[in-house]
Amino acid sequence: MQTDSHSSPMLASVLMVSSMAIIGVIDNFVIRLAESIGLWQFHMSRAMLMLPLIAGLSLLGLGTLRPQRFGIVVIRSVLITIAMLFYFSSLALMPIAQALAGLFTSPIFVLLISALMLKQQIGPWRILAVMVGFVGILCVLQPDPGDFDVLTLLPVAGGFFYALSAIVTRTHCANESTVALLAAMIMTLGLAGAIGLAFFTLFPTVSPEGPDGFVTRGWVWPMDLALPWVMIQAVGSTIAVFMLIKAYQLGEPSYVAVFEYSVMIFGPMFAWIAMGQTIGVMQVSGIGLIATAGVLLGWRAGRTSAEPQEG
């Protein structure tokens, strides 16, 4: 397990919030590409566009493409690939906002895994911040218990695997090149996309038109309607996921994960400004709670770093 010699909680929080700002914008457009192509073609084509961009990051001196510990990097990539497949698969079964809320149960899983399995000391303020942030998400999404279905647990399963990947990033990949981690993750997602695309192309199913057929749709050509949205995803994800990985390398997972809640601020805000979607009083209250959780964590990090360390 890596030491905390490279810890920088404040920089990690800034990187995470910046990453979530980008993701909150670009994920609004997933529904557009889902109208014409499938999940598997999306992951494969996005990976093909992202890999040259990632190579460019390496050429700019931001990190090597070669991992130091190949095995653990592969494990991390597989975990996050499973998480993303659960998340994107759920998009065909429920509203994007509901799927996003399920995925962002990950900070809760990070907290539980850190405390129960890694035996880390998690203070009451950090627990409170996670709970406040989660209540904020519930206020934003206003889930209806009467509509519960076991399939709604798909993005929650994604949140669990995402939490595992976040912990592995910090505990075993803190000294890895951020570019190498990003490249490995995208290659794994692209490979999963190619396998799924081959399966649904060779063994086609009757897929509904539009976003409902996102998961089971095979090869679609031409993909000119979806290509602009895939390109936006590729460029935005290259920048955002680079910052996200770096944040988990620099900060404690149970601390950094809380700042992922900020995507629930940027996503609805962009939808309101650019797409005319209205936000009610309950949603505004939830956004306030999410912001409060981030401020609380930032304040505690500042207090902790200011305390004298025993030698």
pLDDT in tens, 110-124: 777 877 776 777 778
Tokens 């653990």, residue located: 72
Give the pLDDT of residue 192: 96
Give the pLDDT of residue 1: 42
> Is the per-residue pLDDT at 3 higher than 50?
no
pLDDT category of residue 303 using cuts at 50, 70 and 90: low
pLDDT category of residue 17 using cuts at 50, 70 and 90: very high
Give the pLDDT of residue 147: 64
Distances (CA, A) of 164 to 112, 120, 305: 11, 15, 26
Q: Which long-range contacts (CB under 8 A, 24 or more apart) does 56-59 make?
A: 57/179, 57/182, 57/238, 57/242, 58/179
Give the pLDDT of residue 310: 42
Distances (CA, A) of 266 to 26, 55, 111, 114, 168: 10, 29, 23, 27, 27
Give the pLDDT of residue 66: 92
Average pLDDT over the chain, rounded to an integer = 82
What's the rounded mean pLDDT across residues 192-203? Answer: 94
- The rounded distance, in Å, linking the Cα atoms of 205 and 203 is 7
Lowest mean pLDDT among 157-166, 187-196, 212-221, 249-258: 249-258
Give the pLDDT of residue 67: 92
List phi, psi (to 5°) of 105: -80, -5
> Is the per-residue pLDDT at 30 higher than 80?
yes
- The more confident residue out of 192 and 175 is 192
Give the pLDDT of residue 308: 47
Residue 215 makes CB contacts below 8 A (sequence gap 6+) with 38, 39, 88, 89, 91, 92
Domain positions in the chain: 9-303
> Is the per-residue pLDDT at 203 higher than 70?
yes
- The more confident residue out of 92 and 102 is 102
22-32 as b/e: b if 16+ CB within 10 A: bbbbbbbbbee
> Is the per-residue pLDDT at 302 higher than 90?
no
- The rounded distance, in Å, linking the Cα atoms of 221 and 223 is 5
> Is the per-residue pLDDT at 294 higher than 70?
no
pLDDT category of residue 194 using cuts at 50, 70 and 90: very high
Alpha helices (H) in 251-311, listed in sequence order: 253-256, 263-275, 281-306
Which residue in 216, 260, 233, 237 sits closest to 93, CA to CA? 216
What's the rounded mean pLDDT across residues 284-288? Answer: 76
Contact in structure between 275 and 146 (CB atoms under 8 Å): no
Distances (CA, A) of 299 to 125, 147, 264: 10, 38, 21
Q: In which element (H, E) is residue 104 found?
A: none
Residues across the chain: 311
